[in-house]
Amino acid sequence: MAITLKSTLKSSRANTKRQKQNPARRIETLFVRSHEIWESYGVDVAVIVMKGGRYSTYSTRPHRPPSMADIGATYPLPKNLLPKDLEGRIAKRMARTQRRRGGEASTGLHRVPESRKRGQLVI
């Protein structure tokens, strides 16, 4: 019984550590992909991520990313997407992939609990 308890505690600690590292890695990947989009297509990219009350930002311009007021004052009006908007797109993509493969499709994305869905993604 002691061996089982020990291995359970060890795997629990490993899972906790992995869960803490995973968001940091995904944010880093988001910034790298944003940089690749800037290099490939020459578009200005600004990414703002808030995790645990701390903001992380990436911008292709040397100054700070634009504020929400600056973005709202631009013309044409910006696209302000919410998580529910992207979930609809992901569902359509999954259905299309499923029809092509004739089986179950996976996006590779993890579901985010409703309590953690906050903020907006501005594209």
pLDDT tens digits, 66-110: 787 887 788 787 777 778 877 888 888 888 888 888 765 455 555
pTM: 0.52
- C-alpha span between 45 and 39 (Å, rounded): 10
DSSP letter, residue 118: -
- Count Cβ atoms within 10 A of the Cβ of residue 32 and give its class: 0-12 exposed, 13-18 middle, 19 or more buried: exposed
Integer Cα distance of 40 and 120 in angstroms: 25
Q: Residue 91 half-sphere exposure, CB side, CA atoms within 13 Å?
A: 7
